[in-house]
Chain A
Amino acid sequence: MITRRDFLKIAAFSSLLGLGGAFTINALEKEPGQKVLKDIKALKGKRWAMVIDTRKFKTQEDFEKVIRACHKAHNVPEIANPLHEVKWIWTDDYEHSFAGTAEEYISTEVKERKFLLLCNHCDNAPCVRVCPVKATFKRPDGITMQDMHRCIGCKFCMAGCPYGARNYNFLPPRDYIKELNPEYPTRTIGVVEKCTFCNERIDRGLLPYCVEASEGKIIFGDLYDPNSEIRKVLSENIVIRRKVELGTQPMVFYII
């Protein structure tokens, strides 16, 4: 017959053993001498944001140059059927870009403009909240990042995103990529994808592809740094954002 006292002793001792087990598992993760580091060249920012100067985008070529730079580098498939299309950055007209807040009596020039649209990397991103497997998450620098390894293709994020920034791979994407960029992976059928603010480039100290290809028409920087260029641009121009009334705090600003 085991006494109450002995039982408690055994229970306490075995829970200690359990704790010890947890430590051993952590210790096994890395061998001595191995380290994982951030690149010192990486751009440092607390909240990355983007300003798109819509006045400067005039011709179709201006848009296409930017879109092509992104889609080519990230192996985004070109699918003509709008039901299956995949896009990271695209264009739409004034009324649809700013649905709900589009001023009816604004100048016809603005009404006829096209607007570059992409993932807004919202501060309060609904896609992050609804993802059941944490495949979509916020990086500390504000980027709404998606871990393709974890995505189960449930499409909750597509329902959650008010900007239509997410697309599901209904078709095997590799069949629709004309020229593969061997330095970046493709996606597989059955996952959702979107713009990642070129986090792989930021981590290496480079600006996003679209910013580079726009030649000054898009400004990218740290919103929390009062001395950054983006803050200067924001303080000197009147900007609008898409669907602010939803409270998602989008991080892409448009100069009208």
Chain B
Amino acid sequence: MYDGWKIILGLVVFVVIVTLPFTMSVGKTYVEPKPSIDTPEIQKMEKKQCIEPKQYMREMHIKLLYSWKDYATREGKRLYVASDGKTYTISLQNTCLKCHSNKEKFCDECHNYVNVKPYCWDCHIEPKVGGLK
């Protein structure tokens, strides 16, 4: 093999760079994000369920919010009938955050963990900590 050491060195550098995300997190403790649903409004509920089942909300909430935004502002459709037949007003600020008044412990918990920064809160008003609105 001509220039074998160059090839091997190159391969070593490549492998080190590729595995960097894994090697850098070695020794760090894994902290699982735990979004809290402990708000006065949710405590009052008999059956603690969001507008749709938990798993659906976990996977699809951003899709749901995106379509809500279009239905309300562009089509003037402001009522959402969930799969269980219950009707909700389409509003992030007045429907979602009425129950989830703990944005920091609920929304931010996972968003910070996966490093996504939704810009909803540039305009929509988040509730004050420690109480509704």
Contact = CB atoms under 8 A, between A and B. Distances in A.
Chain A to chain B: the 5 pairs with minimum beta-carbon distance, closest first: A33-B83, A188-B122, A35-B81, A182-B133, A185-B123
A137 B127 CA distance: 30
Given A32-B83, A137-B74, A183 B123 contact: no
Contacts of B133: 182
Given A139-B76, A149-B69, A185-B93, A33 B84 contact: yes
A36 B76 contact: no
B77 A182 contact: no
Given A42-B76, A182-B127, A185-B123, A36 B90 contact: yes
A16 interface: no
Contact of B82 (A34, A38, A141): A34
B123 A187 contact: yes
Q: Chain A: interface secondary structure?
A: loop
Given A145-B73, A183-B94, A185-B93, A38 B123 contact: no
A145 to B, nearest CB: 7
Given A32-B83, A34-B83, A182-B133, A39 B94 contact: no
Interface string A58-97: 0000000000000000010000000000000000000000
Contacts of A39: 78-79
B125 interface: yes
Given A35-B81, A42-B76, A139-B76, 12 more contacts: A32-B83, A145-B73, A148-B73, A149-B69, A149-B73, A180-B125, A184-B93, A186-B123, A187-B123, A188-B119, A203-B76, A203-B78
Nearest to B91: A183
A246 interface: no
B67 A29 contact: yes
B124 interface: yes
B73, B78, B83, B94: most-surrounded residue (chain A CB, <10 A):
B73
Interface of A: 29-39, 42, 75, 137, 139, 141, 145, 147-149, 180, 182-188, 199-200, 203-204
A37 to B, nearest CB: 4
Contacts of A184: 93
A41 B80 CA distance: 15
Contact of A37 (B74, B77, B85, B119): B77
A147 B76 CA distance: 11
A200 B69 CA distance: 13
B74 to A, nearest CB: 6
A204 B116 CA distance: 34
A31 B61 CA distance: 13
A185 B78 contact: no
